[in-house]
Amino acid sequence: MKIIKTGGVTTPRGFKAGGTNCGIKANEKSDLAIIYSEVPGGTAILTTTNEVKAAPILWCKDVIANPYKQAVVVNSGNANACTGQAGITAVAATAKKMAEALGLKPEDVLVASTGVIGVALPVEKILSGIDVLVPKIGNTSEDGRLAANAILTTDTGVKTIGVEVEIQGKLVKIGGMAKGSGMIHPNMATMLSFVTTDVNIEPALLQKLLKETTIDTYNMISVDGDTSTNDMVTVMSNGMAGNDKLEEATTDYEIFKEAFVFVHKTLAKKIIRDGEGATKFIEVEVYGTKTKNEARILAKAVITSNLVKTALFGEDANWGRVLCALGYSGVEFDPLKVSLIFSSQAGMITLLKDGVPIAFKEDEAKKVLSETDINISVDLKDGDEKAVAWGCDLSYEYVKINGDYRS
């Protein structure tokens, strides 16, 4: 697998994209993005499990009955959630406008939104924006970057990825972009993540692969424990790589799958690295559980603990909070068998070995925790399964950002 440094949603053959400001964000920041495939693409999609679903989520769940899609339009600055019937009408108008501008049917278009909840969507601005943006979309990496930039909210930078694998002598490419930052605690779905690929694959198999992939990628990250009303991940595959259709349980499929998982995991980790107010990237590895799901639950309990997050912000080796979080996760284990290690590129410290606290030097712990990337490794010695979760610390800046988000 080759990583394409400037890769993004325009990396695979036949995909165009672009981004612009259509006036939703007051400060002229980009707020409208389009992804377009030259041919209909078999599409997989996962959406939020939140009972309160934004209007665009309802639209996508409806139109995906036919999995062949050709365009995605995304606005930032307004989530079009809790906006009643007006919000639903706005999505339909947006899809209709996209269809007219691109020569498609409205149901060929996926719609996504992110931003403040409960404010009427200024749909006229989006409709005008589509007229402006459609003629400008292109297939360069810069076009992909413009699209990736237009979907951001409190993010501090674009999150893109592009990779290439060889299947049957054909170069198959996967590209993606995501936005994250706040209200990030995906559950069976995710924040906004859009992936494109020119692989030839049956949509049903793509959907299955996406579902499997999210469990150990987007579903293992958390910024603040809040599962959004607008979470969505889509993958469009247009088959233009020219490979024979991928079949499950083949070497070709495994090659593609490895790259596919890498793309989603990379986007998920980029979201965490840019978590609202984050100063640390925290990886929690849990080993030695009876089942993989137990390991996942334990790792997520640690990564979502406000007390663990604030301790790491303060670079304080308050490891008892890790044990506390494991303890209330709901998974049974024997505390007297647990081992715990904090590490970073500055070194490692063992805090607990087989349930016994190990004395450590505060200055060494401080050195380890002063790095940006921190690893917390827990071994329960109760089985052979493991899981990894990713999260960030909880800083003053997180409180600041979210204390006055709407202004």
Q: Minimum Å distance from CB 277 to a copy of itself?
A: 9
Candidate residues 2, 258, 337, 357; the one interacting with a copy of itself per rule CB under 8 A: 357
Is 337 a known ligand-binding residue? Answer: no
Which residue in 95, 25, 91 sits closest to 53, CA to CA?
A: 91
Candidate residues 327, 346, 367, 383; the one interacting with a copy of itself per rule CB under 8 A: 327
Contacting a copy of itself within 54-83 (CB under 8 A): 79, 81-83
Q: How many CB atoms lie within 10 A of CB 201?
A: 25
Contacting a copy of itself within 105-124 (CB under 8 A): 116-120
Q: Can residue 143 be called a binding residue for a copy of itself (CB under 8 A)?
A: no
Nearer to a copy of itself, 46 or 101 (CB): 46
Q: Can residue 336 be called a binding residue for a copy of itself (CB under 8 A)?
A: yes
Nearer to a copy of itself, 82 or 92 (CB): 82
Is 213 a known ligand-binding residue? Answer: no
Q: Minimum Å distance from CB 240 to a copy of itself?
A: 38
Q: Can residue 328 be called a binding residue for a copy of itself (CB under 8 A)?
A: yes
Spatial contact of 312 and 321, defined as CB atoms under 8 Å apart: no
Is 6 a known ligand-binding residue? Answer: no
Candidate residues 305, 343, 344, 377; the one interacting with a copy of itself per rule CB under 8 A: 305
Nearer to a copy of itself, 241 or 349 (CB): 349
Spatial contact of 233 and 9, defined as CB atoms under 8 Å apart: no
Nearer to a copy of itself, 245 or 337 (CB): 337
Candidate residues 89, 128, 140, 187; the one interacting with a copy of itself per rule CB under 8 A: 187
Q: Can residue 363 be called a binding residue for a copy of itself (CB under 8 A)?
A: no
Is 154 a known ligand-binding residue? Answer: no
Region from 98-106, 258-266, 321-329, 383-391 binding a copy of itself, contact rule CB under 8 A: 321-329
* Binding letters toward a copy of itself, positions 23-52, x by CB under 8 A: --------------------------xxxx
Total residues binding a copy of itself (CB under 8 A): 68
Q: Can residue 383 be called a binding residue for a copy of itself (CB under 8 A)?
A: no
Spatial contact of 205 and 39, defined as CB atoms under 8 Å apart: no
Q: Can residue 361 be called a binding residue for a copy of itself (CB under 8 A)?
A: no
In sequence order, the 6+-apart residues with CB closer than 8 A to the CB of 223 are 180, 181, 182, 183, 184, 185, 271, 272, 275, 276, 278, 391, 392
Q: Phi first, then psi: give them for residue 108, nearest 5 degrees.
A: -85, -5
Q: Can residue 350 be called a binding residue for a copy of itself (CB under 8 A)?
A: no
Q: Can residue 131 be called a binding residue for a copy of itself (CB under 8 A)?
A: no
Q: Can residue 224 be called a binding residue for a copy of itself (CB under 8 A)?
A: yes
Spatial contact of 50 and 61, defined as CB atoms under 8 Å apart: no
Alpha-carbon distance of 84 to 107, in angstroms, equals: 21
Q: Can residue 288 be called a binding residue for a copy of itself (CB under 8 A)?
A: no
Q: Can residue 352 be called a binding residue for a copy of itself (CB under 8 A)?
A: yes
Q: Minimum Å distance from CB 2 to a copy of itself?
A: 38
Q: Is 190 a catalytic residue?
A: yes
Candidate residues 59, 313, 342, 390; the one interacting with a copy of itself per rule CB under 8 A: 313
- Active-site residues, by number, are 190
**Annotated binding-site members for substrate:** 153, 179, 190, 276, 402, 407
Binding site residues, a copy of itself, CB under 8 A: 49-53, 79, 81-84, 116-120, 182-183, 185, 187, 224-229, 304-307, 310-311, 313-314, 316, 318-321, 323-329, 331-333, 335-336, 351-352, 355-357, 394-396, 398-407
